[in-house]
């Protein structure tokens, strides 16, 4: 978005289909705003009629139009059995779920005669409603379950946000920014198969080596938008992601072998495993901690190797990364170690600038008092050699 506003052509990729969809919508400023407004009205009218037909009337007239016992009945709008198994327990109540599925179907039907970008525009608006009102979850910073909702006015939330999106689109077009090229690909960052050559600069923030499952954060939206349908699809998505947590490590992973000759990385992995043994931690996830770190840096080495030939000479890179204490409080100096990995693949580290310091896990010191440890987040600055 910043590149478009500054007149700079850009390209990007992500292995998560939901991130790709949202990124495409946010950087496509050439859609016809009048067409979107017209379609929005049609979608809202049809969705409202369909909800009434399935005993889900407009909420403002709820008590006048339908009896409570009818409104409580289930209808045919449900997730498939496979998709329902992947939905985190309690993250969506029954009536909001039905309303969201009805709205999704109307978006599909009203957009099928138009370019796919039109459908993606409205699906992004639907995703906003899921995460900002309809769902029983919030972020703080990790996703967590909130109090269940008996119902939610999905159409009002969707109408308000879609209108805001259309307004922002019109503002961008008034500035003349829509002509600046921006392409977004679904791609594994370790292979970058779809990324063209001739790139002059890279600005990104890869995952950190921690226990954050990035697929869970947008699991509900991915399921309701039809981007994720079953457990096999979830596994395929996880396999395309950089290994940064134990929930996307698989038996046949080999990324760790890429950094077997890096003494500092090997030492961190050995310290984590030794710490696990000392603490008597025996769960399957804890036994993977040291492997996650090795796979993470090995995957990043593959990324740098794939990226190098796609860059112009002397291309500049800025990677926002954070040190970690997620694995049994053993320090992982992410920026420093990534710099070593990048230099092995033809890059030169030209600086590490402090971005911010955040407080990590509280620990008990010798006097049994709790204290918070500051964790460094920094921008790793590099140049292609």
Binned at pLDDT 50, 70 and 90, residue 22 comes out as very high
Binned at pLDDT 50, 70 and 90, residue 55 comes out as confident
CB within 8 Å of 259: residues ≥ 6 apart = 265, 266, 294, 297, 298, 301, 341
Mean pLDDT on 28-51 = 96
- Residue 245, classed as helix, strand or coil, is coil
Kindly tell me the burial class for residue 140, based on how many C-beta atoms sit within 10 Å of its own C-beta (0-12, 13-18, 19 or more).
Answer: exposed
| pTM metric for this prediction | 0.89
Percent of the chain with pLDDT over 90: 83
CA–CA gap between residue 300 and residue 349 (Å, rounded): 15
Binned at pLDDT 50, 70 and 90, residue 359 comes out as confident
Q: What is the edge-to-edge ordering of all strands in the sheet holding 370-384?
A: 199-204, 311-322, 370-384, 347-364
Domain ranges (residues) in the chain:
2-183, 245-384
Binned at pLDDT 50, 70 and 90, residue 58 comes out as confident
CA atoms lying within 13 Å on the CB side of residue 157: 21
CB-based contacts of 45-49 (< 8 A; 24+ apart in sequence): 46/106, 46/109, 46/110, 47/102, 47/103, 47/106, 47/155, 48/155
What is the pLDDT of the chain when averaged over all its residues? 91
**pLDDT at res. 211:** 87
Binned at pLDDT 50, 70 and 90, residue 373 comes out as confident
Are the beta carbons of 284 and 356 closer than 8 angstroms? no
Binned at pLDDT 50, 70 and 90, residue 72 comes out as very low
- Asked if the model's pLDDT at residue 69 lies above 50, the reply is no
Residues 121-167: tens digit of each pLDDT: 999 999 999 999 999 999 887 899 999 999 999 999 999 999 999 99
Mean pLDDT on 354-371 = 66
Binned at pLDDT 50, 70 and 90, residue 79 comes out as confident
Percent of the chain with pLDDT over 70: 92
Residues 265-308: tens digit of each pLDDT: 999 999 999 999 999 999 999 999 999 999 999 999 999 999 99
The DSSP annotation for 168-193 comes to HHHHHHHTT-TTS-EEEEE--TTT-T
Structure tokens at 18: 């939901």
Distance spanning both ends of the chain, measured CA to CA: 28
- Asked if the model's pLDDT at residue 337 lies above 80, the reply is yes
């Amino acid at each position: 978005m910043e590149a478009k506003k500054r007149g700079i052509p850009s390209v990007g990729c992500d292995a998560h289909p939901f991130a790709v969809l949202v990124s495409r919508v946010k950087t496509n400023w050439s859609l016809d705003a009048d067409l979107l407004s017209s379609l929005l009205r049609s979608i809202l009218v049809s969705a409202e009629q369909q909800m009434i037909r399935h005993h889900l009337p407009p909420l403002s007239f709820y008590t006048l139009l339908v009896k409570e016992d009818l409104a409580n009945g289930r209808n045919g709008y449900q997730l498939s059995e496979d998709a329902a198994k992947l939905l985190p327990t309690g993250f969506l109540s029954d009536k909001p779920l039905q309303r969201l599925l009805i709205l999704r179907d109307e978006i599909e039907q009203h957009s099928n005669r138009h370019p796919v970008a039109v459908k993606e525009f409205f699906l992004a608006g639907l995703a906003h409603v899921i995460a900002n009102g309809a769902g029983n979850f919030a972020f703080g910073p990790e996703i967590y379950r909130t109090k269940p909702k008996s119902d939610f006015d999905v159409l009002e939330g969707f109408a308000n946000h879609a209108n805001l999106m259309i307004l922002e689109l019109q503002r961008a077009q008034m500035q003349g920014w829509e002509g600046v090229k921006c392409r977004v690909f679904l791609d594994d960052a370790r292979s970058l198969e779809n990324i063209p050559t001739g790139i002059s600069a890279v600005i990104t923030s890869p995952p950190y080596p921690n226990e954050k499952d990035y697929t869970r954060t947008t699991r509900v939206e991915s399921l309701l938008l039809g981007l994720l349908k079953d457990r096999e699809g979830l596994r395929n998505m996880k396999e395309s992601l950089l290994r940064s947590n134990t929930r996307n490590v698989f038996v046949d992973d080999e990324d760790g072998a890429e950094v077997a000759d890096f003494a500092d990385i090997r030492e961190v992995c050995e310290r984590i495993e030794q710490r696990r043994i000392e603490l008597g931690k025996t769960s399957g996830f804890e036994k993977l901690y040291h492997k996650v770190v090795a796979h993470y840096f090995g995957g990043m080495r593959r990324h740098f190797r794939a990226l190098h030939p796609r860059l112009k000479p002397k291309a500049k890179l800025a990677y926002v990364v954070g040190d970690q204490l997620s694995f049994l409080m053993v320090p992982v100096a992410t920026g420093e170690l990534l710099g070593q990995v990048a230099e092995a693949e033809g890059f030169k580290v030209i600086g590490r600038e402090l971005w911010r310091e955040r407080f990590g896990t509280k620990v008990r010191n010798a006097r049994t008092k709790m204290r918070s440890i500051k964790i460094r987040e920094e921008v790793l600055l590099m140049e292609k050699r």
